[in-house]
Structure 1
Amino acid sequence: MTTARAKFFPRIEPWLLDASITFVLAVTGVVALFVYTDPNGIEYAEADALGVALVLVITVPLIVRRQHPVIVGLGTAVATLPFLAVDYAMPTAALVLLIAVYSAANYAGLGASVLVLVVQSAVSVGYTLVSADRHADQQTMDTGAGLTISALVILGVWGLGRGMRNRRLYTAELEDRARRLERANDVEVRAAITEERSRIARELHDVVAHHVSVMTVQAAGARRALHRDVDRTAVALEAIEEIGRSALAEMRRVVGVLRTPDGDDRGARPATLAPQPGLGDLDLLVEQVRDAGLPVDVTVDGEPRAVPVGVDLAAFRVIQEALTNTIKHAGPSTAAVLVRYLPAEVHVEISDDGRGVAASLDGRRPGHGLLGMRERVALYGGTLAAGPRRGGGYEVRAKIPYDSNGAMSR
């Protein structure tokens, strides 16, 4: 509907509209000054240069009626007084008066618009009374009726201007609110995108760090056994191949959300959108770690239960990252994993008896893995503690709470 109206009624620039109105009224007023004949036989003063000047002085200020509504309203009223004193013919005077009142009501404050209304009304009353006195013989309407009609028309135009002002201000407020909401929405979208990128970065780090670490250990073992034990080398290479495929599959799951039907990868194979891993996949993870040469003992305390998918993934990633760090930093060691199911919490503990992550860092700041674990656990209101164990080794402990009533099975 709006498009159709814009097509048949194109929007005119305000300055062009005001200039057109002013031009038409000025030309009409000057021409009427010379050729106008009153139907009631009223005779007006003969047109001259002073009359033309007064018509222009009264009419031309309308071109800036939006920018200076009060000045225009008061100025046209004052300029009308000498015009009336000489008694020139100007049929457009009433229209100029109404436009000035409307402009003050629409574009000025309440007090200023009322001032213009009072002044213009006084001029209208004066014009009516003076005209009635001068041309008493030619009057066809009662003076009182004329004053009443003039007052009602002027007051109605003023009310129309105030109504348009209120509507314009309300529309401007709605537009401003819409702009603020749009800006707020943009901020929220950018924050959501940043959070999603962080989540994907954590997922990629966990996937790549774990699998590449295991593959590196397997490759080192294969290299050492290459000329001494062909069968062991073949087993290590098979393990590397299997772990590499598993890594690719998990990476496809992680970045699959970035693929769109209309994206640049239309010709690419569809991403695998299988469920994210969880504690149910712990046996597979432990098997991979054992194949890499790290003995792992797994203990499950309590009855395994359905936990929210996010908590399940977070617990799995903590175990995965901790075992990956053990492979990378602990040296020859053994590891132990404890998963404890509580009514509204999941506890995971991962420990090893190696030289520890702190020793391998040698004073350097920990990498993104430990920070990623803390962020994952904190996201669900949990806590994570990591540090050296008494007697040697390293330990990671995480507690992740959840709403047992809202837990969803995978």
Structure 2
Amino acid sequence: MQTDVPPSPVKGLPGPPGRPAWLTETHRCVIDALLALILAAATLSFAYQYHPPGWPPFDRTAAALCLVVNLPLAVRRLAPVGVLLVSCAALLAYTVGGYQPSANIWAPLFAVFTLAARRPTRTSVAGACFAAPVWLCSAMATKVVSPDVALAQVVLGVGTAWAFGLTLRILGERNLQLAALTLRLQHEQAARMRHALTEERLRIARELHDVIAHHISVVAVQAGLAGYVFESDPTTARSALDTIAGSSREALEEMRGLLHVLRVPPEEPEGGSGRPEEPAPGLARLPALIERVEAAGLTVELTVAGEPYPLAPGPDLSAYRVVQEALTNVLKHAGPADVRLSLDYRPGRLSVGVRDGGPTARGGAPVPPGVSGGHGLIGMRERVEAHGGMLRAGSLPDGGFEVVFTLPGPGAGSAGGGPDRG
């Protein structure tokens, strides 16, 4: 018996799970038509072959009533209420006409089942209550069962058909709800995947920006210096070329490491290619970074307060990249300048400050307007806030520029405090 659950109203779903894909509305209508024809043919065949004595002859009127009882089942899914009313009315007319017992009783049961499967409970209960007296009248008209047995047949027959249809309707509705929930979960999963991909693209973009911007700035400054003193001061020119070579090699190594991470498939363990991986840069590599930017023309004064402690890999890398970007910005926008780099290791919080004296301190060009709104500062702020820290950047009253940020240290809470404004 086919499920009489209506098609799925959820956009994007073909219907309840478990329904065969080939079973379209056209197929179901064909099946219903065959069911109606089979029941009508069986009823007529039984009536013509079995004619008990004492009953009126099975004439054309009786045959027509049998057809009216059974044939409406061909559209039982389209109009279940109308089919039930017509089928029961025709059966009642057949019974009142005094015709012999027949197989007409099965069509109203199918109509009750269909009504319970496709309409609300209140409507199906009313339909079952309408069909029950008709069925009882037909059973009593056979003159072979007692009223108690006839009533039991009605309760068992009509009740079972109604309960079976109601159960299928409830299961169908739950299947639709589960299908809709599954579709919604799939959409949410796809949205989370898109969000994760966007976050990963932003992370890669930040890494590329920090690596390329810093090293290219150093190379550009040193190349200009080497070209300027190439003939007058060969020693300085050679030192500048050595700095260019070292910065280029480090940039290539960092780019190679980043590309290797992108190429390794997720299921391959880290280092699965057999190539030893260098650890990600952190604050331990600040001396090398300071040496490189000093070779490019900056003068960096490093101050460390408190007892240094190791940070987690994520905050450690972010702290290094923020300092690297801040020094690169000084090199690009302030030229040769004095820079004060301070690290303040406090319990549960690390405060870092990068302050420069501005381009006028050592004869540099004026700082271009709108520097504080560049992509570099946006990336720095995103790095710091991703680990529960805070960042403040802006111009100083004396014409310099300052970048101050805090990161949570070991044993800190969910967030590091605000930036040190003292």
Tell me what 1:393 maps to.
400
1:343 CA displacement: 0.8
**Aligned residue in 2 for 1:123:** 134
CA deviation map 1:18-54 (0-9, x unaligned)? 5324324324424642563338656453342x44443
Query: Is 1:361–2:361 an aligned residue pair?
Result: no
- Aligned pair in 2 of structure 1 residues 115, 403: CA closer, same or farther (>3 Å)? farther
- Report the Cα offset of residue 303 of structure 1: 1.2
Q: Does residue 1:150 correspond to 2:161, yes or no? A: no
Match of 1:337 among 333, 338, 341: 341
CA contact (8 A) 1:34 1:47 kept: no
Distance 1:52 1:315 in 2: 93
Task: Give the letter aligned to residue 318 of structure 1.
Answer: V
- In 2, distance between residues paired with 1:301 and 1:285? 19
Greater shift in the superposed pair: 85-94 or 381-390: 85-94
Farther off after superposition, 159-168 or 224-233? 224-233
Residues 241, 64 of structure 1: alpha-carbon distance in 2 compared, 3 angstrom cutoff = farther
Q: CA deviation at 1:108?
A: 1.0
**Equivalent residue for 1:46?**
58
Q: Provide the TM-score with structure 1 as the length reference.
A: 0.84
Contact 1:252–1:272 (8 Å) recurs in 2: no
- Worse-superposed segment, 53-62 or 357-366: 357-366
Matching residue within 267, 280, 287 for 2:284: 280
Provide Cα deviations, 1:182-205, integer angstroms capped at 9, x if missing partner: 111211221121122112111111
Contact preservation (8 Å) 2:35, 2:74: no
The 3 A distance-change label for structure 1 pair 183 and 374 is: same
Which structure dedicates a bigger proportion of its chain to helix? 1
Range moving further from structure 2, 103-112 or 382-391: 382-391
Q: Secondary structure at the match of 1:361?
A: coil
Please report the RMSD computed on the Cα atoms of aligned residues, expressed in angstroms: 3.1
Kindly provide the CA deviation profile for residues 209-238 of structure 1, in whole angstroms up to 9, marking residues without a partner as x: 111101111111121123334443333223
Equivalent position of 1:136 in the other structure? none
- Residue 307 (structure 2) pairs with residue 307 (structure 1): no
Q: For residue 96 of structure 1, what is the aligned residue in structure 2?
A: 107
Residues 389 and 31 of structure 1: is their aligned pair in 2 closer, same or farther, counting only changes over 3 Å?
Answer: closer
**Residues 1:378 and 2:389 aligned together:** no
Instruction: Structure 1: give runs of 5+ residues left out of the alignment.
Output: 1-5, 133-138, 264-268
Cα separation, 2, equivalents of 1:53 and 1:274: 92
Counterpart secondary structure, 2:279? coil
User: C-alpha separation between the residues in 2 aligned to 1:248 and 1:75?
Assistant: 85
For residue 322 of structure 1, what is the amino acid of its counterpart?
A
Matches within 5 A, 1:241-260: 241-260=245-264
Give the share of equivalent positions with the same residue, in percent.
34
Point out the more displaced range, 338-347 or 307-316. 307-316
SS of alignment partner, residue 340 of structure 1:
strand
Q: TM-score with structure 2 length normalisation?
A: 0.82
Deviation per CA, 1:368-397, whole angstroms, max 9, x where unpaired?
011111222222332222223343322211
C-alpha distance in 2 between matches for 1:95 and 1:358: 98
Q: Which residue type is aligned with residue 45 of structure 1?
A: P
**Is the 8 Å Cα contact of residues 69 and 87 (structure 2) preserved in structure 1?**
yes
More deviation, 102-111/63-72 = 63-72
Contact preservation (8 Å) 2:293, 2:327? yes
Alpha carbons of structure 1 residues 363 and 193: separation in structure 2 relative to 1, 3 Å: closer
* 2:85 equivalent to 1:74: yes
Aligned length: 388
Name structure 2 gaps, 5 residues minimum.
Answer: 1-16, 268-272, 415-422
Which of these residues, 282, 293, 300, is aligned with residue 296 of structure 1? 300
Shift of 1:319: 0.9
Among residues 197, 221, 225, which one is paired with 1:193 in the alignment?
A: 197
Aligned ranges 1:206-225 → 2 under 5 Å: 206-225=210-229
Residue among 36, 46, 50 paired with 1:25: 36
